[in-house]
Structure 1
């Protein structure tokens, strides 16, 4: 895919950029947006299968994000979407996800924090976890089905904890290191956005140099905490002066 795909004809469903709809406290953040998703399929397939596919679609489809439905079938935060419903039947959701991707190929299945679903096997893991791993192996192997046009991507911070059989299925591995000094300086500027401040280019470079080992998420937290300091001072203030 090149650039941001544009909607064509009936392709009015898109991939969601978020899987949660949590609201933050009013004092320190705004409310999350509402998700309005629906299954408009008119097929006469098996009701149980249709219900499963609808559940997967509801987890990944919403109105008007950046990517068009016919180009990408994605799963954001697979851990939450696969474990939240039909206790003991999570492997059916895995199968439904791959079926959905094949129906809309060329497509991409993105599994964030894949280690939470496909970690190394142990004697203490549940039977449900074993079934999920087995189903992932079967679907990624593509026995008896055509997986051409379906790309499976997995992201993890701890790849060494993945089950060895799962690691073999991911033939190509890409290491993404922590941001360097220049990238960290840019991230501080990006997260600060249009917020008024007295920081100049030298200050941003200094922040980049002082935060070696920080990830993008760490820098985001630092900036957010800094921006909240004035708000917290106002919340605890007892005397005010009009200026």
Structure 2
């Protein structure tokens, strides 16, 4: 696609893509069949047709293509079609588009409108919406409110995935104490899972995710010794890439000999080890 951009051959591109599009639609994989033609239509200035092409293949009911929703949201945001973008966010799958609307409103200086959208998203989409509101509050220097907004993320979830975004935003903005408070709150609320093999597996995944976030946050807040202690107290089965993570923390703390020793203990021929040795 990029190779033909501006080359004046969009019609030929469409002709070449037509059989691919038809095949992809028949096999039930609309992403390629929808997104690429829409991109060609957009660069031809045929915006309404591009929007319609994406809208036709969003999916129905519970079967929605998240990638197509996100592509449509990006297209509408690029061209400041705010009303259409807002309508998209109000649909059942609007949680996948709301971030683009909030970002575009911020970019245009419409902060109050961005907050209104974020608060509505937090109410309408409890799985993802609170993260958008928390991120927005952090970006505008309101970390305590962000911590409160992130509260719903801690309920009815099984992995801690959506808390990571607000945590990173808090650290990026220098609100380290609030980030630590959010992580402590997360740790105090383990997911409620069935006491069976599947439940125990998900709980182990959650515990590893929590440990990974804790290691990262401690390193970011100047408490690397605690981060190292956590990693040294875990097994490789309990923490994926434990040795690699430990070596990275040691290296960042100016302890290359220890980092090399950790890597030599497991993978003497690795690229990362070679990189360490020649620094």
Normalising by structure 1, we get a TM-score of 0.32
Give the strand-richer structure, 1 or 2.
1
If the length of structure 2 is used for normalisation, what is the TM-score? 0.29
* Higher Cα Rg, which structure: 2
